[in-house]
Amino acid sequence: MLKLSLVPSQSKMSAQFPPPHASISVEELAQRLHSGATEALQLIDVRELAEIAIAFIPGFDILPLSQFNQWAEQITTRFDPHQETLVLCHHGVRSAQMCQWLIAQGFTNVKNITGGIDAYANECDRAIALY
């Protein structure tokens, strides 16, 4: 598994100490998804493709961390750095790393989904498989 701490820009990230990222609960995410209020959201899932095959939430763009070198350079052209961006992983650790990296890239409205898809499956949608 590739960790963001191994990417070339890590030394810049450490030196800049980006501000802490905000978070969103899985319950709030579920409310927003079910209300249809997602057109203003950028949804990013950083889990690996094998994890996505087991469990996923429709509407998320998949950016596996192991493929970081393939998508990192286009992040500010693929996504609007000022639009609300919610980041998901399995438990919330990798997505927290991604949030910090996005902030270092100039993103201004980034939120980590607390507890990840595991919490979402347990608390909001039991139809999603646990792993």
For residue 124, indicate whether it is catalytic.
no
Structural domain includes residue 23: no
* SS3 letters across the chain: CCCHHHCCCHHHHHHHCCCCCEEECHHHHHHHHHHCCCCCCEEEECCCHHHHHHCCCCCCEECCHHHHHHHHHHHHHHCCCCCCEEEECCCCHHHHHHHHHHHHCCCCCEEEECCHHHHHHHHCCCCCCCC
Number of domains, the chain: 1
Task: From the candidates 55, 63, 65, 89, give the one annotated as an active-site residue.
Answer: 89
Expressed as residue numbers, the domain containing 32 is: 28-123
Confidence at residue 19, expressed as pLDDT on a 0 to 100 scale: 55
Structural domain includes residue 64: yes
- Please list the pLDDT of the chain residue by residue as tens digits (131 residues): 444 443 434 434 444 554 567 999 999 999 999 998 778 899 999 999 999 999 999 999 999 999 999 999 999 999 999 999 999 999 999 999 999 999 999 999 999 999 999 999 999 999 999 99
33: domain CATH number is 3.40.250.10
Confidence at residue 1, expressed as pLDDT on a 0 to 100 scale: 42
Confidence at residue 12, expressed as pLDDT on a 0 to 100 scale: 41
